[in-house]
Amino acid sequence: MHHEVSVGVTLLLIAVVLVVAKLSAFLERFGQPPVLGELLAGVLLGNLYLVGITFFEPIKENAIIQFMAELGVVILLFQVGLETNIRDMARVGIRAFLVATVGVIAPFVLGTYLVGPWLMPGLESHTYLFLGATLTATSVGITARVFRDLGFLQSQEARIVLGAAVIDDVMGLVILAVVSAIVTVGSVSALDVGVIILKALAFLAGAVLLGQMVASWLGRILAKINTGSGMKFTLAIAFGFIFAYLAELIGLAPIVGAFAAGLVLDAVHFESFENPRVVSEIYHEIKEHNIQNVSQIEKIMKHHSHRHIEDIIEPVGMLLTPIFFVITGMSVQITALLNPSVLMVALGFTIAAFVGKVVAGLVAGNVDKQIVGWGMVPRGEVGLIFAATGRALGVIDDATFSVIVVMVLLSTLLTPLILTNIIRRKLAVQPVAQ
């Protein structure tokens, strides 16, 4: 039966989520990233029903808030793409590919052939395949947020992780499609696998090549209609959403499309538009008063002009991104931790999940291998999507699903903590060059 939820109640619940997310930022005083506070706040809200407080339960079922959460992670990856230089990404392409390949093969083999049969004997081979597939997932949203919060997005390590995460998503898509086909049909042809890979690669190549041309052309056309910030914002955000849609259309995660869109939207595509108001006013004053020796001021203004698109997207991210992390935390059921047998098996899987990704950092080349390896660890919503697919196909039961949920929870909550400490130690010795 469908229950109508009033607009007022939904707005109240959104306000609650936002305030709780912001209050959780007190963890920053203890040197922890804001994302950890948002995840833990979500875990707390999502489990208050256990002590009789049910006020927050409607948040879990509210379709509007769930959509805002999904939109939040799309905006986050779009922002990360905007702040990432495509040429810098290309320079680490080979290393990103190696990291992604090891980061998919190692956990898949561990889950399917070693940890699965050892910790959960007697299950069907299809179940072990799905357990292995679930361990291959990477949720780059959490790592990207940690990098962004710490001002680490311009580092070599961040570029490798972001590049590897995109490749990882393509490989994960292939594994999920192949395993699902084996379960439903009993086999899968090499041609089917080839088609999936070609579609994914065609999208990524097309996004980069066509995206840059279309963005330039669109920018010039729209600037003839209006050169204000509103038109600039609309061009950018629509570009991000269209790419997210196209990614989903071929079976990739929408966040991969959003990241690709941000990656191709260079400052040059917005040159036909007005500068930020503050930059225009300073230029006017310099010209009006014939001020000389302003090279440093002009350098600062140019930087802010180039960053303007990121600045006008920022408030949207401030609204939506915390909702995603709080909602992700709310999906965690602490009751899964109360079953000792489930917990012990889940801990074994979590260790395999950590090891399978951390070893991927070993092939990252001459960078901090720990940061790259740990950056690939969070499973987040991607791991849950894999598990939900297995449950829908009838090869993953409730107990196995609980094991996966605990693994996802621990990899999601512990990674920001570990990653932040490693990065802070590195920054103390060697700050990132901007």
Q: Taking all residues of the chain, what is their mean pLDDT, rounded to a whole number?
A: 80
Q: Assess contact for 43 and 91: CB atoms under 8 A.
A: no
pLDDT on residue 39: 79
Q: Is 434 helix (H, G, I), strand (E, B) or coil?
A: coil
Q: Let me know the angle formed at the C-alpha of 398 by 395 and 399, rounded to the nearest 5 degrees.
A: 100
Q: Are 182 and 129 in contact (CB under 8 A)?
A: yes
Nearest to 138 by CA among 99, 109, 85, 177: 99
Q: Closest by alpha carbon to 34, among 149, 182, 121, 147?
A: 149
pLDDT tens for the chain, residues 1 to 434:
445 678 899 999 999 999 998 888 787 777 666 777 887 888 889 889 989 898 888 888 899 999 998 898 889 888 877 777 677 667 778 888 899 999 999 999 998 899 888 988 888 888 888 888 888 888 777 788 888 888 888 888 888 998 888 788 777 767 777 777 777 776 667 777 777 777 777 877 787 777 777 777 776 777 677 666 777 788 888 888 998 898 888 777 787 788 888 878 765 555 555 566 666 667 666 666 666 666 656 666 565 555 667 778 888 988 998 898 888 778 777 776 777 878 888 889 899 999 999 999 999 888 889 999 999 998 766 777 777 778 777 888 777 877 887 888 788 778 888 888 898 888 887 766 54
The one-letter amino acid code at 144 reads A
**Residue 89 · residue 153 · CB < 8 Å:** no
The reply to whether the predicted model has a pTM over 0.95 is no
Structure tokens at 102: 């090891």
Asked whether the beta carbons of 95 and 360 are under 8 A apart, the reply is no
Predicted pLDDT at 341 = 79
Distance (Å, whole) CA 84 – CA 166: 13
Q: Helix H segments across 150-189?
A: 156-185
Q: Where are the alpha helices (DSSP H) in 93-155?
A: 93-109, 116-119, 125-136, 140-149
pLDDT of residue 1: 41
Q: How far is residue 161's CA from residue 144's CA, in Å, rounded to a whole number?
A: 9
The amino acid at residue 294 is V
In the block, tokens 């598990």 appear at 387
Query: How far apart, in Å, are the Cα atoms of 416 and each of 36, 53, 152, 190, 360?
Result: 6, 29, 13, 38, 18
113/129 Cα distance (integer angstroms): 8
> Over the stretch 345-365, which tens digit does the pLDDT of each residue have?
888 989 999 999 999 999 988
The pLDDT score that the predictor gives to residue 280 is 63
Give, rounded to a whole angstrom, the gap between the first and last alpha carbons of the chain: 55
Predicted confidence at residue 355, as pLDDT, reads 93
Gyration radius of the chain over CA positions: 23
Whole-angstrom Cα distance, residue 37 to residue 40? 5
389: which 2 tokens? 């697919």
Q: Which of 411, 416, 415, 420 is nearest to 347 (CA)?
A: 411
Two tokens, residue 49: 């029903």
Distances (CA, A) of 175 to 118, 220, 408, 430: 22, 41, 18, 39
